[in-house]
Amino acid sequence: MEFLDFIKKYKILGLETAFILDLAINALILSLGQDIITPKIGLFIPGFEDIKDIKLFNVFGIGNFIVVIISFIIIVLIIFLIVKFASRIGIE
């Protein structure tokens, strides 16, 4: 009972939800920059050295970006279920 009072009083659920979403959005933005935007810039600037292993048909890391998007959706779904369960037991 003391633990539930602690969670309710200090809004721990909202804090951890925001933290986890922040990490997931950060991974999404990093993947967008590294896998999609940076390789496109490298195609137009000669000597751009941040591009790793450019191959003829695999210039962009679309697959990695899609994996990050799917992971983000799964994380958001899990957080939604946790928040929904918490609201049923009275934690806001």
CA angle 7, 11, 12 (to 5 degrees): 60
Q: Return the pLDDT at 56.
A: 44
Domain boundaries along the sequence of the chain: 2-88
pLDDT of residue 79: 94
Half-sphere exposure of 64 (CA within 13 A, CB side): 14
In this prediction the pTM is 0.72
Q: What is the pLDDT of residues 7-60, one digit of tens each?
A: 878 888 888 899 999 999 999 999 998 888 877 777 777 666 555 555 544 556
Residues in CB range of 27: below 8 A, 6 or more apart: 68, 71, 72
The whole-number pLDDT of residue 57 equals 46
Q: What is the rounded distance in angstroms from the CA atom of residue 32 to the CA atom of residue 72?
A: 13
